[in-house]
């Protein structure tokens, strides 16, 4: 159903980090499935529309992201109760010429409340997408992701929803978020649509998915790492990996003092880039490749993050950062 990631794609992805594009912005990356072409970094819109983020600040953040070269924008129907999509829709309406030049993805499947529920039923998925499109003020989503695995999922209902959304022109590509390989296989068994992406938490503070394979046949860590095969699975099946929470809330690039932050600061000076760029470059150095989703609303920090596309960490520096963040040597 899905072809393997071409070696040329992985090589191009790594090579693209060596320099910015001709216009001074980030280089482009072509997704293996369906050929979406986007920046290596994705701008995450979770912080837009929150109580502390007015329209002016949200517009400034989005303008800064475009200026820095971001061409992919990530949403979810639950972000700020839908306000994130609404404010983005207002911004996009004022800059309508951008629609054809950017990729817009959103996620659905979480139903907030008491209790919080996950819902992959056909009705909920279709209704959610219709609400997303209304708030964004657009006719279609480039990518729709299933937000978190639904324990009560009926894959046939997902397939039915996807078929309707695709045939009606409301969604062009589909993917998942926070899914394991087996959960993806469960869906793929009945889907007529390829899954183009899997968005997962990945950072120096949360490196388990990247490092799990190194714990095979080891007594440490005492607690088994989770879904260690997910990166290998996605690479083998051409599924684009996205990293949410890649800056770990500034743990290594802000005011916190810790061993890994000290290494980040040292490397930032040596490579001549921001500390944010080093933290992100650690993720982007992986040959998968992995596209970090950046959520800051501060224009200066957005620009600092974009510098990650100019850095290729050497192997020694990559493992130094990993060891410092782990607090222990590799096995």
Q: Which pLDDT value is given to residue 328?
A: 86
**Is residue 125 in some structural domain?**
yes
Could you tell me the CATH number of the domain that includes residue 210? 3.20.20.100
Confidence band of 213 (pLDDT split at 50, 70, 90) = confident
Bond from prior residue into 221 cis (ω within 30 degrees of 0): yes
Q: Of residues 79, 118, 164, 233, which has the active-site annotation?
A: 79
**Is residue 13 in some structural domain?**
no
pLDDT in tens, 36-86: 999 999 999 999 987 766 899 999 999 999 999 999 999 999 999 999 999
- Rounded Cα distance between 330 and 327, Å, is 10
**Is residue 320 in some structural domain?**
no
Average pLDDT over residues 291-301: 97
pLDDT in tens, 237-279: 999 999 999 999 999 999 889 999 999 999 999 999 999 999 9
Please provide residue 317's backbone torsions phi and psi, each rounded to the nearest 5 degrees: -65, -35
What's the mean per-residue pLDDT of the chain? 90
**Is residue 120 in some structural domain?**
yes
233 in active site: no
What is the SS3 assignment for 44?
strand
pLDDT in tens, 174-205: 999 999 999 999 999 999 999 999 999 999 99
**Is residue 258 in some structural domain?**
no
Closest alpha carbon to 244 in 124, 132, 135, 148: 148
Q: How many domains does the chain have?
A: 1
This prediction has a pTM of 0.91
**Is residue 268 in some structural domain?**
no
Strands 195-201 and 72-74: unpaired
Confidence band of 330 (pLDDT split at 50, 70, 90) = confident
**Is residue 20 in some structural domain?**
no
Q: Which pLDDT value is given to residue 220?
A: 59
**Is residue 303 in some structural domain?**
no
Confidence band of 219 (pLDDT split at 50, 70, 90) = low
Q: Which pLDDT value is given to residue 15?
A: 37
Confidence band of 23 (pLDDT split at 50, 70, 90) = very low
- Rounded Cα distance between 63 and 80, Å, is 20
Tokens representing residue 174 in the block: 């589909």
pLDDT in tens, 89-148: 999 999 988 999 999 999 999 999 999 999 999 999 999 999 999 999 999 999 999 999
Domain containing residue 40 = 30-250+290-297
Signed CA dihedral, 199, 243, 202, 114: sign only? negative
- Length, in residues, of the chain: 331
Q: Which pLDDT value is given to residue 53?
A: 65
- Rounded Cα distance between 2 and 238, Å, is 7
Closest alpha carbon to 195 in 129, 245, 130, 241: 241
Give the distance from CA 178 to its chain's centroid. 11
């Amino acid at each position: 159903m899905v072809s393997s990631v071409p070696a040329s794609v992985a090589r191009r992805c790594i090579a693209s980090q060596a320099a910015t594009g001709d216009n001074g912005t980030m280089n482009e990356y072509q997704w293996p499935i369906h050929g979406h072409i986007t920046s290596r970094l994705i701008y995450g819109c979770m912080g837009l529309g929150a109580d502390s983020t007015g329209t002016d600040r949200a517009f400034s953040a989005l303008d800064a992201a475009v200026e820095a070269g971001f061409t992919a924008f990530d949403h979810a129907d639950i972000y700020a109760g839908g306000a994130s999509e609404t404010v983005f829709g207002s911004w996009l309406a004022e800059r309508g010429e951008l629609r054809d030049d950017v990729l817009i993805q959103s996620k659905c499947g979480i139903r907030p409340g008491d209790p919080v529920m996950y819902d992959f039923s056909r009705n909920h998925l279709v209704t959610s997408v219709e609400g997303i499109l209304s708030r964004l003020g657009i006719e279609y989503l480039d990518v729709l992701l299933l937000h978190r695995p639904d324990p009560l999922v009926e894959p046939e209902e997902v397939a039915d929803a996807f078929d309707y959304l695709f045939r009606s022109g409301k969604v062009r590509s589909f993917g998942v978020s926070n899914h394991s390989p087996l959960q993806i296989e469960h869906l793929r068994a009945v889907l007529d649509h390829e899954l183009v992406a899997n968005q997962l938490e990945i950072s120096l503070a949360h490196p388990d998915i990247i490092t799990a394979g190194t714990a095979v046949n080891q007594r440490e860590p005492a607690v088994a790492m989770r879904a260690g095969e997910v990166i290998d699975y996605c690479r083998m099946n051409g599924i684009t990996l996205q990293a949410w929470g890649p800056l770990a809330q500034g743990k290594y690039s802000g005011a916190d003092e810790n061993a890994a932050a000290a290494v980040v600061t040292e490397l930032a000076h040596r490579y001549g880039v921001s500390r944010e760029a080093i933290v992100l470059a650690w993720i982007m150095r992986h040959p998968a490749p992995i596209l970090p989703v950046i959520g800051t609303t501060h224009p200066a920090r957005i620009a600092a993050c974009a510098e990650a596309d100019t850095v290729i960490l050497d192997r020694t520096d990559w493992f130094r950062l990993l060891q410092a963040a782990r607090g222990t040597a590799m096995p």
